[in-house]
Chains A and B, each alone.
Chain A
């Protein structure tokens, strides 16, 4: 469990942005921070990683204080074993993809390295430099580099935004599969509801620098009009339908299913209204 209770004020020019966080994230699960642009999602990741310092409060990870301003305790960021995939990926342009991966650690887990290369389908890119890669390829390489670090905590800052839908779904599936296999903790920032419902075990909804809601991703279903999602029917009775959306099983009213005829196993469209 990662507990965060802290304040931070960012001052840029004449403007101040206040972050007042009180939330927790699940251990060995995919946690998604969801909210509109400017809500403070990226700042939250930077503060958890230690790249930015909190003004006041605590960050506690599995009974260990990473930061505690009262006790003036702060674990150096290099000792937190965090891998962070930035929005611009942060791939080193002077190194080939393989050297980007090798730079992570002196002794890489060869089995993990081979598995990640195979799963993310980057074998043919190993001798290429990041400047020659497409957006989707860069994302796969950045994710691979983060994973070979064998992090306790993987921070992903909107890693799937700049790519087409087909590739996005593929990468989402990779992420779910790898997280399930290696059981690391993920905190991922997104403003895509679809991504939350497909990936999240736990969601944390942010706006105006505060966490306004958190829990099971189904909490979002009541508050997002005009969104249509796709899911697979798992079970149905006269009144309700159980639908699998991403990794979540959600019980819905029949009126929320937009598809006219369906049975168990069918792909259906769901209205969130």
Chain B
């Protein structure tokens, strides 16, 4: 079994999760704090990947970020960044596609906190950044953990977007989910099963960890 697709999959999931943690934080905070009329529009945009077929997202990526489009051409000529059929492109697409999986848990966690935490700190003259860092985030650890794990697990399972934007380039964009598809196409069920079992086991282990930690089972066992 070639381990390269598995390596690429976990590399993609780790980078996406890391980037999304920092991207989702201000978005979630803004969604909780704001009284702007734009809030429902932003919420709808953030949640779109939940209902949109991955192929649709992948298709528009292909159109807008391809070298024949203004944006794609500009990125290529100015920064020498090629997003289509590259690992960088996969990361960008994954970040957008997994956005709601990080934003929603953090938003729910922040919404559940009493307003008095923020208001007390505001009256003390603390900055928004400090309030978020020192008061709010430490009190929503279970929500953050849920967001991280869901994003990681969701990125591992991506197929449609990855196929559309990344193609199937070995050692570059061929992640595990695509490798499984390839092996099935080639009637190599043994290899497909090996990849599948590894993804199945890791997904289960990761989700089990979340439920054990958030449910407080681990603390009780340690005591």
Contact = CB atoms under 8 A, between A and B. Distances in A.
A13 to B, nearest CB: 16
Tell me the interface secondary structure of chain A in the complex.
loop
A80 B116 CA distance: 17
A88 B124 CA distance: 17
Nearest to A105: B124
A149 B124 contact: yes
B33 interface: no
Interface string A39-55: 00000000001010000
A88 B125 contact: no
Contact of A77 (B114, B116, B122): B122
Interface string A72-84: 0000011110111
B50 to A, nearest CB: 29
B201 interface: no
A88 B115 CA distance: 10
- Output the residue of B121, B122, B123, B139 with the most chain A CB within 10 A: B123
Interface in B94-145: 114, 116-117, 119-126, 134-135, 138-139
A49 B123 contact: yes
A93 interface: yes
The 3 A-B pairs at the shortest CB distance, nearest first, are namely: A90-B116, A94-B138, A78-B125
24 contacts: A49-B123, A51-B123, A77-B123, A78-B122, A78-B123, A78-B124, A79-B125, A80-B123, A84-B119, A88-B114, A90-B116, A90-B117, A90-B120, A92-B117, A92-B120, A92-B134, A92-B135, A92-B139, A93-B139, A94-B135, A94-B139, A103-B134, A105-B124, A149-B124
A184 interface: no
A104 interface: yes
Interface string A111-131: 000000000000000000000
Contacts of B126: 78
Given A78-B126, A92-B117, A92-B134, 13 more contacts: A78-B122, A78-B125, A83-B123, A84-B120, A86-B119, A86-B120, A89-B116, A90-B120, A92-B120, A92-B139, A94-B138, A103-B124, A149-B124
A230 B77 CA distance: 85
A82 B125 CA distance: 9
Nearest to A46: B119
Contacts of B116: 86, 88-90
Interface in A28-73: 49, 51
A78 B124 CA distance: 6
Interface string A3-39: 0000000000000000000000000000000000000
Nearest to B127: A78
A93 B135 CA distance: 9
A152 to B, nearest CB: 12
- Output the residue of B117, B124, B138 with the most chain A CB within 10 A: B124
Contacts of B114: 88, 90
